[in-house]
Structure 1
Amino acid sequence: MGYAHFAALLLCVFMFVSGTTADNQNSTGDPARPAEVRIGALFTFDSVIGKAVRPAIELAVAHVNSDPSILRGTKLSVLMQDTNCSGFVGTIEALQLLAKDVITVLGPQSSAVAHVICHAVNELHVPLISFAATDPTLSSLEYPYFVRATQSDYYQMDAIASIISQYQWKHVIAIYVDDDYGRGGIMALGDALAKRKCKIVYKAKLPPGAANTTIENVLMQVNEMESRVYVIHVNPDSGLNVFSSAKSLGMMSSGYVWIATDWLSAVMDASVHGTTDVMELTQGVLVLRQHVADSDIQKALLSKWNNLTRNGSSYSMRAYDSVWLVAHAVERFLSEGNAISFSADPNLQATKGSNLQLDSLRIFNNGNKLLENVWSVNFSGVSGPVQFTLDRNLIHPVYDILNIGGTGLRTIGYWSNISGLSVVAPEHLYSSALNSSTNNVQLHSVIWPGQISEKPRGWEFSYHGKAMRIGVPLRTSYKEFVTQDNGPDGVKGFAVDVFKAAISLLPYPVSCNFVLFGDGLKNPSYTDLVQKVSENYFDAAIGDIAIVTNRTRLVDFTQPYIESGLIIVAPAKEVESNAWAFLKPFTFQMWCVLGENTVSALGRFVLLIWLFVVLIINSSYTASLTSLLTVQELTSGIQGLDSLISSSSAVGYQVGSFSRNYLVDELNIAESRLVPLNSPSDYARALELGSGNGGVAAIIDELPYVDIFLSKYCKFKTVGQVFTKSGWGFAFPRDSPLAEDLSTAILTLSENGNLQRIHDEWLSGRECSADNNGAASNSLSLSSFWGLFLICGLACLLALVIFFLRIFCQYSRYSSQVEVQYPEPQIVNRPARLTTIKSLISFVDKKEEEVKNALKQRPNGSQHPSIGNTAIEEQST
């Protein structure tokens, strides 16, 4: 309660004119039942809610007086005052009612008036029972005599927040009337959204009774913003002007989301002749309405009350039940023997010489007892059960969720503080026959503005404004990821290309300016870069963003191509392997009995060549296998993370990387042990020097950098397991709606193969294998022995050539000598070439000793036995 309200109250009191006093009700304090009990009602007669509640109050009073079971012998009368939709007039009217010694006041419908009147009823001990003041800041703890006979907007805003969360919208714009009712409701909405990781990004306030031009100006400003989810919380009497202006501005088309609080349902329930016009302005809008369950009491009432429709106004039913609430409380109050009496307030004394008669405002002596009976009332009314919780709110807050479409309203679900969103009415939730599969459906389908059934995205990228500022680290090493460029964008690299490719897939234009971050002398700190994003200095950041603050959101773009994480790199020192115990060198020992002739010499020559080849191959494969087993036994003294932490060796890290903070904060490694390194050459030099010589024993860095480093420096290796895995990506402010769309675009890049193509273009080049540290390049294959095979082949060929030359020479000598000594008989029908070939084959088959003996004989006319026999056999044949 502000000082302005209290000042208004004082002003009203001093302006209060005498003559408003009423007769005292049983001022003698006689405990006998009075003939009449007087209550007051305060609302705006000519308003949407006022037109609905006035007949309801009159009918309720008539029903109470005609019911013999309640207020036996006592008539209930009501005095109504019109507030004329004015806080000042409402306060004056309230004081006039209180001056007439009423024991309770029904109303007011305005939360702003209720704030002021609460001070007066607290002073005079008169319960104030409101059927329409829904401002959550109206608390019975602050105002003990305030009784809310309707549901607080605290629950209604929780229902709206559940709807927004259900459709996964994160940003909301609130359009509300700038009074206690509007401000209190929107404050409750903000709290409810915050519980669901959503928020109100802009509060568009409208002055009470705002002109159409004012409404249009506010809506035009709202339309320039990204969010397209609007929650409208205004007064029923002027709320339709907002939708009229929105339609003229094209804001009731597809892509927009409008959620109206129960003021709109009150307008629609009260509209008998103007329903068509209201429907035309609000197509696709979601509306909340206080849920009223069907009951026999309600049906009986509606049959008597023509002014209430089948889906009558919840406010009229609350007003009707409020009268019965007072009747039940007064009945118990009188039954307990309490008297209705008033006494002067010592704080309000008439001033001498003044026309103000402040003593006309008197204290209800037993008002506290009547209030206790009000809180303890429990009965079934037309609006449902009327009972208060321990925190003095009505039990079972339930809202219908309606969708306006065509010519009517369609219920798409319900909300209650027990079940949340559901398509099942809360009174049936505990039924044993309830279909569980139906209950799992939270809301039915919705027809949104523009007659579309697909859920709107809830925001549009604001291309009217300036281009997005994208922070890019000015790296001095590992420039494959991001680096400065002379092109139009000023930057290039793997991360830049992925970002640009994803932006191009968005369904709306996005203009970007890449801004370098860093001094160009060393790699910038990514923690500082992300901090700039959270402070909205940058709209996003690209690069190898591995750790983000809780005020930023990470869009992963590397999986499955890069697995980010920390890994230890250490020198690889060779030691003797146990494999030597099983692989002792061995050689072939071969003994050959060789003759003294030329053939034996050629065979011996070829055999020696082959022995040499076998020896080389055997020795090479033995050494190769031993080497392979030895590589598996490489060690650097650092076996993994635990041994590194427990040692006192120096540890290297990349300048600007998040790994430094991780080493200090998470692993508790002393800062004195840490050595900053900026480039791959720095890595290699530090590892070669070692911890005791100004270098480091190991380096902890992110896996993508390690892969590139090991591809160029093969004599180093990784040890231990990858730890603190974390995806790389683009950093956005945590509430940026662009992050979700960019994630979808990156998924599309992955599916169509463009992400792999960009990866291969920038990160696939390898100068050596990082997995086996160069062992694969030294492995043996057939090509490793091509020289030996060539020598062996040439030796065999040379031996064969010598052999055949020797055969031909011997045959030539042998043939000429045999022809001279033994003339060959003439044989008919035998080709000479065939005879020569047959003779050559026969010669080759002869024993070497026989050929030598034949060549030693001189021509003496003697016949060679073998040759002669052959000729005779052929001749005889």
Structure 2
Amino acid sequence: MSAIPKSTEDFQISKALMKLMTMQTRVFVVYMNTALVSRLFALADQNGMMSKGYAWIITAGLSNSLNVLDSDVVDSMDGVLGVRSHLESSVFEIINVIGNGRVVGYWTPEKGISQNIGSNYKNGLKQIIWPGDSTTTPTGWAIPSLKIGVPVKLGFPEFVEQRKNGNKTTYTGFSIDVFSTVSETLNKDLGFKVLHNFIGFEDETGLMDGSYDDLLLQIKNKVQANLFSHLVLAKDDNRENMWIFLKPWTWDLWLTVGELVVRDCSRFVLVVWLWLAFILMQSYNASLSSILTIDKLEPTFDNLERLRTKDHFIGFQRGCFVGNLLEKQFNFSRSQLKSYGTIQEYHEALSNGSKNRGVTAIFDEIPYVRVFLKAYDSQYTTAGLIYRTVGFGFAFLKESPLFSYFSKVILLVREIETKMDEIEKRYFGEKVTSATLAPTIYTESSSLRAYNFGGLFIIAGMATLLAITVSERFIWQRPVALVRQYLTSNHPANGIELAAQPTAETDAGDHSSEVHQASGNSGRISVHIKEDIAVE
């Protein structure tokens, strides 16, 4: 409340108005005589307090005296609301000072505020023209000037980047553009302008003066919301393994099947080649399905309990709140935690692994994770749950009315996809701030190559050669018999000597000597026939 005596000079009234301007409130109730009020509104108009975002309400005495004020004074009061008595004592008119005042509604003890008092009762007020010829209802308050603390860091310039040019310091990035867009929307749609000044949170050397928590400690009862996840090194793509076809069965099942088919060589070879054809056919179907859908990278580590062992180191963004969260809420040892500042450092640490002075996993906020995955999408993926906690966003005092308005306008800006998409594409080329963290997509070709089935072809070839080698019936006996037959039929003597056993009808002694003599004379090839032969 500001009391202005009747004898107050104009400069004193202006000083009182300036004091009101430094306050957050933008709604003023005026209770004074007509002589003083004529000076008040003229000076308020000169100081810009009869503009968009302000609301002035005059009491019944002034509302009933509008017709005695100079026209210039009344013109300076455009947009003021007033209350005056109606013909009936229990009814009050609510007027909007446009000219001599237009009635925008009524108030009665029985019905409260309404647009009329007749039989056509309608709740609420008619359209009000506020100061500055605005039809937007003022919020009733304003922030004279905001000091915005900006974290200064080397990594992730897509979000916030500080640039110094002599004595001039500018700030760019996704977060800065979102804040500026929200401020512009507040001014356009809600009728008040947020004046702000960006201040870098840095020390004398130009580096960040502490952590995010240190920055937020300067704002009591901070209110924020955020999502974060963790990164791990992805396993090698299985399509680069020629023995992948063995994975569908365990080794004991492979051995069991082998025993069933190895008893017969021809059947074994047939089964191997049928198996080869079947796997090729199924692999084609699977590869085609993979091309038409999504190939997922498989994480090397997705168990939070195993990460807590002393054999594993965990990374987080330097200065981020996640470090304290991992220690206090997720029960990681402080000696396990390592901080990094850039995506290049993330890549090096994850590539080296815990055994080579790196880390097994890195925990960070989702927008930063998306930026990293965009740069190294074929090598890393996310694993485990997405955890909700404080972090990424704008921080305000809990009692600040700006908090709720900023939240509403941020949602409004996100609903207008062109605005947010334009900002995100400007810095990232794609969406990075959605709550759902989509799996990393393998960007190379999903087509299968001959190499993918190298192991299968090796097994099939070896099985065929082995079957041919052990099958003596086909590899040795048949060719030898054919050779012998050929050599016998082409002997120089053109004759075949028979060594025969005598029968009961033959003189064994005489015939036997002839046979032996003949054998002795020719003596090169002798085919022994086991069956008895009758010689006449």
* CA deviation after TM superposition for structure 1 residue 680, in Å: 3.3
Change (3 A) 1:688 1:765: same
Could you list the per-position Cα deviations for residues 97-143 of structure 1 after superposition, in whole angstroms to 9, with x for gaps in the alignment? xxxxxxxxxxxxxxxxxxxxxxxxxxxxxxxxxxxxxxxxxxxxxxx
Give secondary structure in 2 for the equivalent of 1:479: coil
Asked if structure 2 preserves the Cα contact closer than 8 Å seen for 1:206 and 1:215, the reply is no
> 1:36-68 CA deviation, whole Å, 9 max, x = no partner?
xxxxxxxxxxxxxxxxxxxxxxxxxxxxxxxxx
**1:285 deviation in Å?**
2.5
TM-fit CA distance, 1:577: 8.8
User: 1:700 Cα shift?
Assistant: 1.8
Structure 2 CA distance for aligned equivalents of residues 216 and 732 of structure 1: 34
Among candidates 331, 339, 342, match of residue 679 of structure 1: 342
Aligned-pair distance for 1:660? Answer: 3.2
Query: For the aligned residues, what is the CA RMSD?
Result: 5.9
* Structure 1 counterpart of 2:60, from 262, 265, 268: 265
Aligned-residue offset at 1:760: 3.0
The corresponding residue for 1:656 is 319
Counterpart of 2:26?
229
Q: Which residue of 2 aligns with 1:217?
A: 14
**Is the contact made by 1:502 and 1:746 (CA closer than 8 Å) also made in structure 2?**
no
Q: Any gaps of 5 or more consecutive residues in structure 1? A: 1-175, 177-204, 292-308, 313-382, 384-397, 535-548, 555-563, 592-610, 786-877
Cα distance change, pair 716–644 in 1 and its aligned pair in 2 (3 A): same
For residue 287 of structure 1, what is the amino acid of its counterpart? Answer: G
> Over residues 682-703 of structure 1, what are the superposed CA-to-partner deviations in whole Å (9 max), with x where a residue is unaligned?
4345545656776544322111
Distance 1:635 1:754, change over 3 A: closer
Structure 2 distance, partners of 1:739, 1:689, is 45
Q: Choose the corresponding residue for 1:255, options 52, 72, 78.
A: 52
Residue 246 (structure 1) shift: 1.7
Say whether the 8 Å CA contact 1:523–1:655 is kept in structure 2: no
Structure 1 residues 460 and 240, CA gap change in structure 2 (3 angstroms): farther
| 1:447 paired to 2:116 | no
Give me the whole-angstrom Cα distance separating, in 1, the residues matched to 2:231 and 2:193. Answer: 44
Contact 1:475–1:523, Cα closer than 8 Å, also in 2: no
Matched, 1:720 2:411: no
Kept in 2: contact 1:553–1:739 (CA 8 A): no
Match in the other structure for 2:80:
285
SS of 1:244's equivalent in the other structure is: helix
For 2:103, the equivalent position in structure 1 comes to: 410
% identical aligned pairs: 22
Provide, for residues 141-182 of structure 1, a one-character-per-residue CA deviation record: whole Å limited to 9, x for no partner.
xxxxxxxxxxxxxxxxxxxxxxxxxxxxxxxxxxx3xxxxxx
1:516 is matched with: 200
In structure 1, the residue matched to 2:446 is 779
Tell me the SS of whatever aligns to 2:39.
helix
2:247 is the counterpart of 1:567: no
Cα 1:690–1:434 change in 2 (3 A) is farther
> Is the contact made by 1:268 and 1:275 (CA closer than 8 Å) also made in structure 2?
no
For the 8 Å contact 1:233–1:260, the answer to whether it is kept is yes
More displaced 10-residue stretch of structure 1: 742-751 or 686-695? 742-751
1:252 and 1:504, CA in 2 relative to 1: closer, same or farther beyond 3 A? Answer: closer
The answer to whether the Cα contact below 8 Å between 2:113 and 2:125 also exists between their aligned partners in 1 is yes
Please give the residue correspondences for 1:478-489 in structure 2 after superposition, counting only pairs within 5 Å: 478-485=156-163, 489=169
Alignment of 1:607-646 (within 5 A): 618=280, 634=298, 636-639=300-303, 643=305
1:753 and 1:707 map into 2 onto residues whose CA distance is 20
Note the C-alpha offset of 1:724: 0.9
The alpha-carbon deviation at position 745 of structure 1 amounts to 9.5
State the secondary structure of the residue aligned to 1:580.
coil
Alignment match, 2:269: none
Q: 1:451-530 residue pairs with structure 2 within 5 A?
A: 453-456=135-138, 470-485=148-163, 489-498=169-178, 514-519=198-203, 525-530=211-216
Equivalent residue pairs, number:
403
Alpha-carbon distance in 1 for matches of 2:127, 2:49: 19
TM-score (norm 1): 0.36
1:423 to 110, 114, 117: 114
Query: Matched residues in 2 for 1:407 and 1:253: separation?
Result: 17
Unaligned runs of 5+ in 2: 239-243, 259-265, 267-272, 432-436, 453-536
Deviation at 1:638, TM superposition (A): 2.9
Q: Which of 32, 40, 46 is the aligned partner of 1:245? A: 40
* Aligned-residue offset at 1:415: 8.9
Residue pair 2:55, 2:140 contacting (<8 A) in 1 also: no
Aligned equivalents of 2:329, 2:34: Cα separation in 1: 56
Q: Distance in 1 between matches of 2:235 and 2:341?
A: 24
Which whole-Å CA distance do the structure 2 matches of 1:771 and 1:245 have between them? 60
**Residues 535-589 of structure 1: CA deviation (Å, up to 9, x unaligned):** xxxxxxxxxxxxxx645689xxxxxxxxx62112234457989843299999xxx
CA distance in 2, matches of 1:511, 1:405: 30
Secondary structure in 2 matching 1:707:
helix
Deviations 1:183-222 (A, max 9, x none): xxxxxxxxxxxxxxxxxxxxxx225545243652334414
Please tell me the residue identity of whatever aligns with 2:173: G
Q: Does the residue aligned with 1:410 lie in a helix, a strand or coil?
A: strand
Q: Deviations over 1:82-108 (max 9, x none)?
A: xxxxxxxxxxxxxxxxxxxxxxxxxxx
Is the 1:654–1:701 Cα contact (8 Å) retained in structure 2? yes
Distance 1:523 1:654, change over 3 A: farther
Secondary structure at the counterpart of residue 485 of structure 1: strand
C-alpha distance in structure 1 between counterparts of 2:313 and 2:232, whole Å: 12
**Conservation of the 8 A alpha-carbon contact between 1:571 and 1:636:** yes
- Contact 1:260/1:285 (8 A) holds in 2: yes
Distance in 2 between the 1:521 and 1:744 partners? 32
Instruction: Note if contact 2:79-2:131 (Cα within 8 Å) is conserved in structure 1.
Output: yes
Mapping 1:783-802, distance limit 5 Å: none
Between the aligned partners of 1:760 and 1:494, the Cα distance in structure 2 is: 10
**Separation in 1, partners of 2:108, 2:303:** 58
Say if 1:553 and 1:731, in contact at 8 Å, map to a contact too: yes
- Residue type matched to 2:429 in 1? S
* Cα distance change of structure 1 residues 762 and 783 upon mapping to structure 2, 3 Å threshold: farther
Q: Deviations over 1:410-454 (max 9, x none)?
A: 3635498x99x743899x9xxxx998xx5xx44443233466544
Using a 3 Å threshold, how does the CA distance of structure 1 residues 725 and 622 change in structure 2: closer, same or farther?
Answer: farther
Tell me, yes or no, if the aligned pair for 1:415 and 1:422 is still in contact at 8 Å.
yes
Kindly indicate whether the alpha-carbon contact (under 8 Å) linking 2:38 and 2:69 is maintained by their aligned counterparts in 1: no
Amino acid in structure 2 at the alignment position of 1:480 = E
**Aligned residue type for 1:473:** P
Q: What is the aligned partner in structure 2 of residue 709 from structure 1?
A: 372
The match for 2:474 is none
Q: Which has the higher contact order (CA 8 A, sep 6+)?
A: 2
SS at match of 2:248: helix
Q: How does 1:87-98 map to 2 (within 5 A)?
A: none
Q: Is the 8 A contact 2:104 2:115 kept in 1?
A: no
Note the C-alpha offset of 1:475: 1.3
With over 3 angstroms needed to count, the CA separation of the structure-2 counterparts of 1:527 and 1:281, relative to structure 1, is same
Q: Note if contact 1:252-1:450 (Cα within 8 Å) is conserved in structure 2.
A: no
